Amino acid sequence: MANKILEKRVLRSDLFYFRIEAPELAKKAKAGQFVVVRADDNGERIPLSLANIDPDRGTISLLVQTIGVTSTKLSTLSVGDEIKDIAGPMGHKTPIEKYGRVILVGGGFGAAPLYPIGRAMKEAGNTVISITGARSADLLVYEKELGEFSDKVLISTDDGSKGHKGLVTEVLKNEIEANGADLVIAVGPAIMMKFASLTTKPYNVKTLVSLNPIMVDGTGMCGACRVSVGGKTMFGCTDGPDFDGHLVDWDLLMSRQRTYLVEEKEAMEAYTCSCAPHS
C-alpha cells in the first residue's frame, strides 16, 4: 500500500499530524520543500509543507489544518489508511549553509515546517534561535520539537498564557536588538510573515519567507500561485516556496488568499450540505 498512515495525532481541534510511509519521497525531499496531496480520485490538489523528513524510517510528516473540503477529508483518515496521492518533493529546498546566527520565526502551525529547516541549519554549524507564537498556549505546536536542536526557544502568545504576551514579531525585534541575526526565516500566516519582514528590514537582516499562495497543479503550468517579488511575477510552486520577504508584494498575496478562502467556504458549505443526512 502506498502512502500508508503510520501515525496520526490530533494537535488542536482543527489540526492533525500525520506520519506517512513514503520511502522514495523521504529519500529525495529536502528541508523547505513541500508536497501536493489529493484525498481521493476526484479531489483537488492541496500543497502541504513537510513537517519532517526521515529517510532512515522512510517516512514524511505533514500537518493538516481543516480549512476546506480536501483537508477535512484528510483529517478523517486513520492509521492504516492510505492517502490517495502525494506528489513531490515540490519547489526548491531552503538554502542551507553556515550563516552564523539564524532566527526561525513560526506563526501558529507554521512552526512545523521550520523543524526540518532548523535541524539542517544546526547541522550546518549555525546558532539557531527559534521563536514560535500562537494566540494562546493551547494552540502552540512544535515547541518541544524545535527545542531538540535550537540553542534557545522563545515563546509568545497573544493572550499572555505562555511566554511573552504579544506577537512573535515583538520577540523577534527584541532578539535582534539584544543579540543580532545573520538570517531570519519566517513561516506562518501571510500577515505575520509581512510584519516579520518589516521588522527585520531596518536592521538589514536577510529574511526568507515560505509563501503558501493558492496552488492548483503545483508544476508551473496553471499560474494560480503567481506572486510578485521585486516587481517580477514568480510562481510559488516552481520558483519558491522561499522568497526574500523584503521584496514580496504582500498586499497582492493576501488579496488572492482572501478570494480563495471565500471560494473554499462556499465549497465547504456545499460539501457539508451534500453529506448531511436527508430527511
Binding site for ligand FES (CB under 6 A): 215-218, 220-225, 235-237
The span of 16-24, 72-80, 181-189, 218-226 binding ligand NAD (CB under 6 A) equals: 181-189
Pairing assessment for the beta strands 46-54 and 5-12 based on DSSP bridges: unpaired
Q: Rule CB under 6 A: is residue 169 a binding residue for ligand NAD?
A: yes
Q: Rule CB under 6 A: is residue 210 a binding residue for ligand NAD?
A: yes
**Smallest separation, CB 209 to ligand FES (Å):** 17
**Smallest separation, CB 22 to ligand NAD (Å):** 19
Q: Rule CB under 6 A: is residue 184 a binding residue for ligand NAD?
A: no
Q: Which of residues 53-112 bind ligand NAD (CB under 6 A)?
A: 107-110
Q: Rule CB under 6 A: is residue 30 a binding residue for ligand NAD?
A: no
Q: Kindly write out the interface string for residues 120-139 of this chain, putting x where it contacts ligand NAD by CB under 6 A and - elsewhere.
A: -------------xxx----
Strand stretches in the chain, DSSP E: 5-12, 15-21, 34-38, 46-54, 59-65, 85-90, 101-107, 127-134, 152-157, 164-165, 183-187, 207-210, 226-229, 232-235, 242-244
Q: Rule CB under 6 A: is residue 156 a binding residue for ligand NAD?
A: yes
**Residue placing its CB nearer to ligand NAD in the complex, 59 or 71:** 71
| Cα–Cα separations (whole angstroms), residue 214 to 103, 130, 218, 253 | 27, 27, 9, 9
Cell of 264: 473554499
Could you count the other beta carbons within 10 Å of the beta carbon of residue 147?
13
